[in-house]
Amino acid sequence: MIRPVLIILVLLVIAVSPASAAEVLQVRTPSLLQVGDRNRTYTVELPCLTVPEGGDAAAVSWLRERLPRRRRVNLRPVGSRDGHLLARVTPIGETVDLSTGLVNAGLAQSSCPGDPA
């Protein structure tokens, strides 16, 4: 009798525990973010971006406005470069990834051929 109750209790605890999403720890540059999950940190590079000369401060400001510390994000990896994860980063609850958002805001240009961003 006690065994089925324990099994149900364990299943309830597992079902209720929140999923861990990646969180933004720091905006380093217009294309580099420090992101972490429960036990790791990653340097994530936003792909397909070219920020015009002199536009770094505005792009970083735009990113920091949208990514306060601990903001949860979805990562869609597209590759790696120089030890950095290249990934499309979308804040949870939003539909546009940050690369596309920077391009749409006029703060960067898309540098990938055929990229809709």
Per-domain boundaries in the chain: 22-110
CATH 2.40.50.90 fits 22-110, yes or no: yes
Burial class of residue 15 (count of CB atoms within 10 Å of its CB; 0-12, 13-18, 19+): exposed
8 Å CB contact between 43 and 81: no
pLDDT at 3: 57
8 Å CB contact between 74 and 113: no
**How far apart are the C-alpha atoms of 34 and 69, rounded to whole Å?**
10
8 Å CB contact between 91 and 100: no
**How far apart are the C-alpha atoms of 56 and 76, rounded to whole Å?**
24
pLDDT tens string for the chain (117 positions)?
Answer: 665 544 554 544 444 444 457 899 999 999 999 999 888 898 999 998 999 999 999 999 999 999 988 899 999 999 998 888 999 999 999 999 999 999 999 999 988 776 554
pLDDT at 115: 57
